[in-house]
């Protein structure tokens, strides 16, 4: 099989989760040291370790087959790229923020003001969509201090928890975009190597989104439980030694887990046990 070329962030907020995703798919990227080009262990893949901002360019030019990067960076770069999978980590939002005591309380009040941002293209696009005009001041970092230094009235930057804004005396006014790490390729570009890689990634992503649950149940409520929990095909049922009782095994989406657990208990389920799934091939 040909070697799949994958562009990854070398260091930063996506790096560790990107390496972990590959590791869980059985693709080891050995101690990166100073190297920028690292062959994987146990899989025909070569990792290019880059600044995240450059990843869209590498993939768009066909130098890398795929890349793992924040959707915010993909959209800012504005190359024609296709999001093949959303990866569920690196969640954040691109937001307009102003100094705590600013008179600006809604996005429309930013009209005519100066906005400092590391995302000039996205900021311009979002302001256009809202029919607002403002002066955009592009920066390469430390956007948060621009208002206190008098360079801008507002900023547009990435926010995850909001603690950085708080630290710099800023208040979030409006979220333009919600973002997470994504897998990108050139539109429609595929190959056996890429399909094989996606098969593995999907196994990991599916497992992360599901939990394996098992519980004891009075046999007469089984049909109600099956309706609640369709599982992969249908739940596995095993008899308990105690007559009239069964053990039910199935999978449930993590998002639904608490709701399902409560309803199961309401139906008489006991001893509900929840386990992580390592891989899940549908
Ligand atoms: P590089 O050195 O690779 O250019 P960087 O400093 O530009 O790195 P990071 O701060 O590592 O970038 O963030 C990478 C991506 O992680 C962001 O583009 C965004 O998609 C995501 N992200 C998730 N949470 C946060 C956060 N709290 N602050 C900033 N980015 C975040
Ligand atoms: Mg960067």
Q: For position 234, what pLDDT does the model report?
A: 81
How far CA 34 is from CA of 37, 47, 50, in Å, comes to: 9, 13, 12
What global pTM score does this model have? 0.90
Which residue has the CA at smallest separation from atom 6 of ligand 1?
Answer: 12
Q: For position 233, what pLDDT does the model report?
A: 74
Q: Which two tokens stand for residue 224?
A: 């109600």
Q: For position 6, what pLDDT does the model report?
A: 98
The ligand 1 site (C-beta within 6 Å) comprises 9, 12-14, 51-53, 70, 72-73, 90, 92, 158, 160, 179
Q: For position 232, what pLDDT does the model report?
A: 66
Q: For position 33, what pLDDT does the model report?
A: 78
Instruction: Indicate which atom in ligand 1 lies nearest the CA of residue 161.
Output: 27
The stretches in the chain having pLDDT less than 70 are 232
What domains can you pick out in the chain, each with its CATH number?
4-90+180-207 (3.40.190.10), 92-179 (3.40.190.10), 210-276 (3.30.70.120)
3-state helix, strand, coil in the chain (%, to 5): 35, 35, 35
Q: How confident is the model over 79-135, as pLDDT tens digits?
A: 999 999 999 999 999 999 999 999 999 999 999 999 999 999 999 999 999 999 999
CB neighbourhood size of 240 (10 A): 12
How many whole angstroms from 88 Cα to the centroid of ligand 2? 19
Q: For position 49, what pLDDT does the model report?
A: 96
Q: For position 282, what pLDDT does the model report?
A: 81
């Amino acid at each position: 099989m040909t070697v799949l070329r994958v562009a990854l962030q070398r260091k930063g907020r996506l790096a560790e989760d990107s390496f972990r995703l590959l590791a869980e798919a059985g693709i080891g990227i050995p101690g990166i040291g100073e190297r920028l080009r690292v062959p994987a262990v146990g899989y025909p893949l070569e990792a290019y370790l880059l600044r995240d901002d450059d990843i869209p360019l590498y993939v768009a030019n066909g130098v890398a087959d795929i890349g793992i990067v924040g959707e915010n960076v993909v959209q800012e770069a504005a190359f024609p790229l296709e999001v093949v999978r959303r990866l569920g980590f690196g969640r954040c939002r691109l937001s307009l923020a102003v100094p705590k005591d600013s008179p600006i309380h809604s996005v429309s009040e930013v009209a005519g003001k100066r906005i400092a941002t590391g995302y000039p293209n996205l900021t311009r696009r979002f302001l256009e969509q809202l029919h607002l005009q403002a002066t955009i001041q592009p920066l390469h970092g430390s956007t948060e201090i621009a208002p206190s230094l008098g360079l801008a009235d507002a900023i547009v930057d990435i926010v995850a928890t909001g603690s950085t804004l708080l630290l710099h005396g800023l208040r979030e006014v409006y979220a333009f975009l919600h973002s997470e790490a994504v897998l990108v390729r050139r539109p429609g570009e595929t190959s056996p190597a890429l399909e094989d890689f996606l098969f593995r990634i999907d196994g990991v992503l599916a497992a992360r989104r599901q939990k394996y649950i098992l519980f004891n149940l009075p046999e007469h409520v089984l049909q109600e439980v099956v309706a609640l929990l369709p599982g992969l095909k249908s739940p596995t049922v095993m008899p308990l030694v105690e007559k009239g009782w069964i053990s039910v095994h199935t999978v449930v989406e993590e998002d639904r887990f608490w709701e399902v657990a409560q309803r199961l208990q309401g139906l008489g389920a006991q001893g509900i046990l929840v386990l992580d799934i390592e891989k899940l091939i549908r």
